[in-house]
Chain A
Amino acid sequence: MLKVKRMPVVVLMGLLVLTAGTQAAAGPEKITVYMSPIPLAQELEATFEVEHGDVLTVVSGAWCRRVRAEMEAGDIKADVLHGADFSIYLMLRDAGQLLPYSSPELGAFLPEFRMEAEQFTLANGRYAVIMYNKRLISDEDAPSTRDDLLDPRWKGRVVIGDPLLCSAAFAIASSLVQFDGFDWKFVRGLRDNEVMLADTAAKVAEVVASGEALLGIGVLDAPLRMIKNAQKQGVESPLAIVWPEDGATAMPRPVAIVQDVNRSEESTAVAKEFVDFILSAQGQKIAAKYGFIPVRADVPTPPGVSTEFKTITPDWEWINQYDQALRDKWESVIYGE
């Protein structure tokens, strides 16, 4: 059905696909790393490979749903996971999919980030903070506590990540319920103030910066990166960060090695080396550039991060165990009890 004169085009396209294919398949014994966000992943990979050669296949972007789908198919392709929040690691741990590993770097950790005998390790500190648009909210009106989000002045202009669509946002909302003594009054307050939802906790910064929302709660690294990028361009981002006086929810980002009986000793060794690298002073300095807080005492926190602040730590096991009940309750509160 194809005319002869089009054949060269077809052949050319075929070659292009083949080259795309060889790129993915090349190299022996590479390990696969799923990590986010993309600029951090790129720099971690490049720095690690300077010393170790081309040993990593890195998949970035939103990888949690993908890992879950691979697990459903019975074959998780990743060797190392890094980023996101506790939920995916707890799910994998409960399914027996993680390889316990105690990195030698743990000795240099700050005490609050050291976990004993776990199947995953905390690799970056990350907090849920309040952010507001300082072009639209004056200094004296600036929020200082979570309850300031319930001020009727901001009705319809407060944004949070959607707990149903984003696991980090789910943990933030659940932690607020937990710290109200398992009471939903803050969520009810959000509903009455016609809270806006963003599909992820990271997108809160984008929505507040645009002025669509005036203030909101989201993860810290996104506004930090935006503020830093603006500074580099010689302008001032409209975003301002507030560490809530009543406590910022701790949302640390783990790293873990996936259990795989078919993986060679050699590859497992590379996986461990890469985990050690992420936890090393060098790896932590790179992460700090992208707004993540070091877990080590010997690496300074990124600029713009308060050193003295109150934190609240979500009870992840509780959130993990009551996932469905918490979702149902959230729905019934948001859609009017």
Chain B
Amino acid sequence: MVSNWNGIMIAAERRRPEPRAIAMGVAIVALLLFVAYPLLLLLLDSFGAHEGFTVANYLKAFANRQNYVALANSLYTSAGATLFAVLIGVGMAWLITRTDIPFKRGFRGLIFLTFLTPPYIGTIGWVQLFGRAGYINTMLTQVLGLSIELYSLEGIIAVMAVYFYPLIFWATANALERTDPTLEDAAASSGGTRWRVLTTITLPLVLPSILSAAALVFIHTISCFAVAAALGLPARHYVLATRIYAALSHYDVQMACALSVILVFFSSGAFLLQKAILGRGRYITTTSRSRKPELVKLGRWRKPVTVALLGFTFFTAILPLLTIVSTSLLKAWGLPLTSQNLTLGNYLAIFQNRLIGGALRNSLVFATFAAGAATLLSSLVAYISARTKLAGRGFLDLLATFPLAIPGPVLATAMILAWIKPPLALYNTPWIIIVAYIVAFTPFALRNLSGSLRAFDPALEEAAWASGASWLRGLRDILLPLLRPGMLTSFVLVFLMGLREIPLSLMLHTQGTETVGVVLFSFRETIGVETVSALAVVVILITVGGHLIVAKLGGRRIEVG
């Protein structure tokens, strides 16, 4: 298989072929082995697998009216969450990169903090604030006589938008920072109004990055269980991801696979739509990082906009976190926050548990490995898809994105199906978790990178090669420096996703490879929310600390945060 692919690529190659062909070959083989093969097993399973070919699972799925309701709910909540995430993310990115709004670093920090909290824990905070007995809802009822219904599809949209707008923010902010401001200046000096420059020059330039991140958010939210379960179930609302969990809970693996295939189908639709929109135009932005753009002066709007942004980030980043911190200090879940109910005992309890140290170490190691591998893999896939004419490159891009649409437990099932037996018996070793993380989170890195790679004019590296530089040299001197901010963002993103991940490691860990997610999940029902909150706070502190250290050592701000 390897030689075959290499052959195709060498044939398609004009310049010095070897290192380039090898790099691309490795990426393709890795994708086929680690993504295509397990997904193929899932597909086969949905058609009956070892019991002979059948479409019974699909017929059964399509015959159930509740599946249509759930699908409609999925599309509604994900589209809604994506829309609001885009509005918030793009708006904040523009404000923070292009205007004279104050506290930019502070806002970036708060956005980072929003993304740090695992939704599984974060929803506990949201319920404490806006639930039926929530602090804010109780106040609203007393003062205004009205209340917010958090347990609704709109509640799911709001909370998901908050958790995933940072993805849009980072993609857009990165894109805005590397757009050549001379284009905008030219438009402005030829008499364009600020609004006209924004809509006709700036926005189209960053559109690929926005759309790429939007597709990511849409597909991720459609397969995401935590928020939909915490806020949908109390009002008996199902989304397709919840239906898939339900099938697995009744040991109906084949039905779960069939429903996942349907989910992948709709997600691919969103992905292809994004590609079709992008395909119509060519958006090349950067020729070089010439200079800093002139900041838009907000004038009399500066104060109100700053206050609004402070209010928003306070509500979305700080308040839920404060409720988690206060819960972590409670002697027992459900007690009011009074001084005699407070303790540091939950923190002591987690450090006394023999699982915690290993779980923290495992999560850090697995997430770091996955982040490195996913960033490399996605860089190569983005390169193949944006810079070569390789047949099937569009499919490679799609293939690497597929896992995003598959709910965690089903993806974990695919991993078990693929890696339980020799020759590659990764199951019950740390590697299966690392591989699962790479497969699950490469889409995050890829969507982040492909947006940025498309933004650079291929003429840059072609010029290097035309002047006789080797492929590696062109890569190192031209492409890598341009891509580095995007790659760093990808690394940090995948790392964070790995650190807060639960369903994959829950099904794939063994003794000694427990992760933070496994402990968070297992402790919640057996030891209690107050202890889980303490652990969540510790993980968030470690991540923030690590981030600050890396930023300090690196001597430059990482684009995330």
Question: What residues make up the interface of A, taking CB atoms closer than 8 Å to B?
Answer: 1, 13, 16-17, 20-21, 23-25, 32, 36-40, 42, 57-62, 64-66, 68-70, 72-75, 77, 87-88, 91, 133, 135-136, 156-157, 159, 162, 164-167, 170, 195-200, 202-203, 206-207, 209-213, 222, 225-226, 229-230, 233-239, 290, 323, 327-328, 331, 334-335
Contact = CB atoms under 8 A, between A and B. Distances in A.
Contact of A198 (B233, B245, B430): B233
Which 6 A-B pairs have CB atoms at the shortest separation, nearest pair first?
A209-B334, A211-B133, A37-B526, A230-B332, A23-B512, A233-B331
A59 B511 contact: yes
A256 to B, nearest CB: 15
A76 to B, nearest CB: 10
Nearest to A231: B332
B365 A13 contact: yes
Contacts of B509: 59, 61
Interface in B485-537: 506-507, 509-513, 518-519, 521-529
Interface stretch (B124-132, B159-167, B197-205, B274-282): B124-132
A91 B253 CA distance: 13
A197 B234 contact: yes
Nearest to B476: A1
Contact of A39 (B251, B333, B512, B527): B527
Interface of B: 45, 49-50, 64, 66, 69, 127-128, 131-133, 151, 229-230, 233-236, 242, 245-246, 248-251, 253, 331-335, 340-341, 343, 345, 353-355, 358, 361-362, 365, 368-369, 372, 376, 409, 412-413, 416-417, 420-421, 427-431, 434, 475-476, 480, 506-507, 509-513, 518-519, 521-529
B526 A165 contact: no
13 contacts: A17-B434, A32-B510, A37-B525, A61-B521, A69-B417, A166-B249, A199-B245, A206-B524, A212-B132, A230-B332, A234-B331, A238-B335, A335-B236
B417 A42 contact: no
Given A206-B524, A334-B236, A88 B251 contact: yes
Contacts of B49: 72
Contact of B128 (A39, A135, A165, A210): A210
B345 A233 contact: yes
Contacts of B525: 37, 200, 202-203, 206, 222
A91 B251 contact: yes
A69 B250 contact: no
Contact of A133 (B245, B334, B372): B334
A40 B523 CA distance: 11
Contacts of A21: 429-431
Given A16-B365, A24-B512, A209-B333, 8 more contacts: A69-B416, A72-B45, A72-B49, A72-B416, A135-B334, A159-B234, A167-B249, A206-B524
Contact of B355 (A16, A42, A211): A42
A62 B431 CA distance: 21
Contacts of B335: 230, 235, 237-238
Contacts, number: 222
A79 to B, nearest CB: 13
A210 B235 contact: no
A12 B341 CA distance: 44
A36 B523 CA distance: 11
Nearest to B333: A209
A225 B526 contact: yes
Given A68-B253, A198-B233, A206-B333, A73 B511 contact: no
Contact of A235 (B332, B429, B510): B332
A167 B250 contact: yes
A135 B338 CA distance: 15
A212 B138 CA distance: 11
Most interface-central of B250, B253, B340, B343 (chain A CB within 10 A): B250
A202 to B, nearest CB: 4
Nearest to A56: B511
A111 B525 CA distance: 30
Contacts of A206: 333, 524-525, 528-529
B534 to A, nearest CB: 13
B526 A73 contact: no
Contacts of A212: 127, 131-133, 234
Contact of A20 (B230, B345, B362): B362
A164 B331 contact: no
B250 A61 contact: no
A68 B248 contact: yes
A58 to B, nearest CB: 5
A323 B368 contact: no
Contacts of A135: 334
Contacts of A73: 416-417, 420-421
Contacts of A233: 331-332, 343, 345
Contacts of A17: 365, 369, 430-431, 434
A229 to B, nearest CB: 6
